[in-house]
Structure 1
């Protein structure tokens, strides 16, 4: 395997015990290197003589970036339990993982080294909505609960790993995973070695597991007594030694459950007390569900099994310069110009023309601007869709560093109508400014969100983003996310399709008070052929959207807002949707949805751009 390294960090300690109170942990330098690393590259941790230890608080893996823990190196997780706390939100079980990929497609953890939770980190490696996530070659030790926890992640690849955690309840958890492979693993935990379960988010399906050696514990568990849906799983070359159970099915009581097309071959059970178990008592394996466990064999000899070593050639990437100001002309690459900027950013002036590429900005204080005052003259365009890594990997331009400004450009995803999600601009950074832009797409055009949020697992501090004098076009949920975003003097235009929803805001919890979208003096329009248009629908139960002085020239439905039922529960009763002095064809305050609000002047002042964006540092981008 070939890896291109964007940074190589040398160890400063021989062991965690050798770090004194005056020595800072490695958190800041590792996270900084990850944040500056481009997609498809790696941050490498290497030994330096006898020094082979790193110690860190929880780290976030960016999209497309691999953390490579070199042979002989140990990355220790912090032993401070508070480092794993999420802000209080009434969810006592919520916690941070040590290495976490959140909506970070094609990221991963690899190398020949060790990641040690020191008995404190609840989860060592975790992925949520990160298509193509990879864990390869590493040893995972001493997690408090789960060494590797994978949630809602298609295309997972696990290879040549060792898991050795004497306190773990589960070795490898796959929840709502699809098209995953586990090839070569040695697992010793007191609980289940591998758990395949569904979740409220959906089924786990099409999983291939081969060449796995389980020592002790409770073997492999399949299914879920609440959701149940696990299907299309093959086991090949599984050895279990001294386990209390072999394969167990956790189903839905006497009704059975959705566990089908489960096949096992070349399975060796030695000293396994209960080769096949069905829970709860009284449940039965579903008839006619293609369960083929004829490959179970007991007793048998246990082979000597060690995962094949993971090898990779690591090359340090070289920059192409360090200019603070760069001019980009047609035929050259904006991304290369971004890569050439120093770590603290700089200015990039883009000459008129069309630039077909994906641009990722992970350096702070970058100012990307079109040289022509007409944004339609300077276009960055690409056409990625869901097949390229899911919604959150489809953007044409990603802004992931703070204090970035973009103006005078068109940013386009030309995937087209009816072909799924295709993001034009994805912003997960704080203090980001966008002026005089044309942002064009269809479904999910603009992702205005917060980088360090944990989805449904807890709240976060919303990133602040400011959009002014811009044109934003799309159809379904075309401005979506959970940031604190202000839009001033912008036009939102719905293009012809089956449905148009201007917004799908996703404030996660009641405590995440800073999250919300405010549209001030914006114009709402739509294609002449487009019928009913909605101001928005709640992607999460506490969605927050406020329109101030909106000119609604589109045929917005009288109710204004549309329901989004999640897990059987309506969201409009908990969402906050409001208007103040809307006018035009689609303004209809008397008929609006009963849970929405018509603000007074005093109430509207609480949603002024200045108040929404100020934060603790009194930021004012206007």
Structure 2
């Protein structure tokens, strides 16, 4: 039933309307941020600062905030271009602070699950006049919670929360910060309460993914800032909290706010320009606004505002939708503003363009709004549309190219002009719209609105405490062996018996490409020496009581080396890894026939055990990842020193072809495939070898450089790398063995835009996976590496064919528990063994370069929505939580209870470049 509408001056009621003026105007192409849109990347870390408080300890604050001095000291000591990172410590995840002044060029990174809480003691913000926490004629008697002045290339990063505690009673008073603001409103005075973040006279600043909530006053203000990006951030404060604007750019330029979620008690965003100059080149794109006062321009416009683009915005529940507000006390020119692809619902005034904002305002600063463009704007629920220019000489000038409004909406118009004759032909003399012929339903807003997300409590970069880190010490990790979950103490201390150098030994066999071979003790190829060792072993010519040593003289040895199981341990020793190199060029995509043609000759006279290794690959149609090893070792307690092993595939010096990584790539959908211009190419594969020991070795490759396999049924296979160097780009250290890397360099190369150091596939029940201690994670200074988006690890979802995690967009899709890993669209099965390949990696006391993503160095396995997807799992709690939330019940795999607590991924006492 239609309701009676109130009678208003110059108001018309109208039916469902679509105004269209195709091609009648074009918005100024300069109406946006002039910088290229680029996701901010957090800088490398100068210091980790562990939390010392719990939520309960913050709630019972009785005096000055205890964390202010150490936070300020950490900020002051941090070099420009670096960041202080706030991390959890045991059960402590809160910081309590008063006003902080950021050092120029220094950033703050707040981990997920961390809360930086603002003090409730006014003295912690007071400017020296004891005004903070009171009301008076002036206001602004408090320092902000965080101040940034004359800074550059810095910001706030992370998935953590900054909580201004605006709704809680201040210490020594009976009101909250918000109640003080409401009292000031009633008494026509000004509140002295702290803003949350104030950035002044700065360049290229960023807010990335951070959560801001419950600010006492404005959340973010920008004053004379040139270059600012807010990306993927969240602002969350109740609609009743007065003067809690979300983001206010003031007399600033080149501003982007994108992919963000904002609900608050005042303007969601308010673009202003005061006495300090104009505000220009603003982009507000791909955002969701909720409660608040809308997407606003003003009320201070006296500095002039121009070149603003607002696009792909949903507004749900704001009192005003798109709003320009000013008056004669603060007016100026607002020009070249484009609103494009906007969806608005549940708003009292969906369109609110008013030059008479302050009803008691006086002055001679006349507001003028010109070249305001509406393109594909949909208002889904009735409300008031206000078009109020200043006077006939300075009217509101508005163009429309697709405006949809619902029945029973009202229009208030005074001194407003449509700049197109087509629009005028749709209006009567009272500026009332006339119903248009029925049109096709516009569905652009059907999926525009999003539920406000919840902050993640999961720590995306978990830090171990000293007690936890002790479980990953050298002697602990290498001191257990056995089947997963049944490991027993088995002491192994390779540092007490280091691999001998060439100068310390009398070799049993010698390999020298430049010297004559005798086929007994002297050889020109390492494989020939291995062939002889195996033959001598079978003939019982080897001493059973000691290790066999092979000296490899300097030279480049082109070809493969396969070492089968032997009854005695073998050591392969060079003189200098810089001059002693074993290398070959083969990749996973070559055929068995090509493999035979290229390498068959060197295995023609091999003993049966070696020939069997060769033939197992030769018979394959395509040799696959596990056929590409330059060095393949099965011999127990194998040792190597002072040698380089290289798979030179794609490492000839020519630029490597780029993988197809965009949305248009073949197979970039649910099957998670990329255009295969890069293939796996192993430098070394160890196959069930326990007590493998490597010192001063260099392993060179790109994808899958080093593969370490556990023994039969997951039997522990321990590896120790010391003073060594390993390089690659994707998953270049992987497998389900136990490996300890000590004082070694791990270098990520950048031929591709994505890189993952490790891909462990450790079994859930295995005690240890990969541990790096006192290592250096470096990079090649390539542009891809310098982007800072490489990863330390992604946990190998071994043998997966379908995923029970996330939502795969295939009609009828199902992934169920089964005895095989298989998928025949739309259904598949996954085994318990695959579910339990969780992947474990710990990094201790190491230096991590700026190429590693500072917020989330632990990546998911593929993208959500693809068949190979699995989210990163930091511990057994994550494992159980993810499985319980999956499409398969844990009981389907035979689980009766969650597994015992254990850490999968973590760091301790690392430094960041």
Interval of TM-score (by shorter of Structure 1 and Structure 2) = 0.3 to 0.5
- Larger Rg computed on CA atoms: 2
Structure with a larger share of its residues in strand:
1
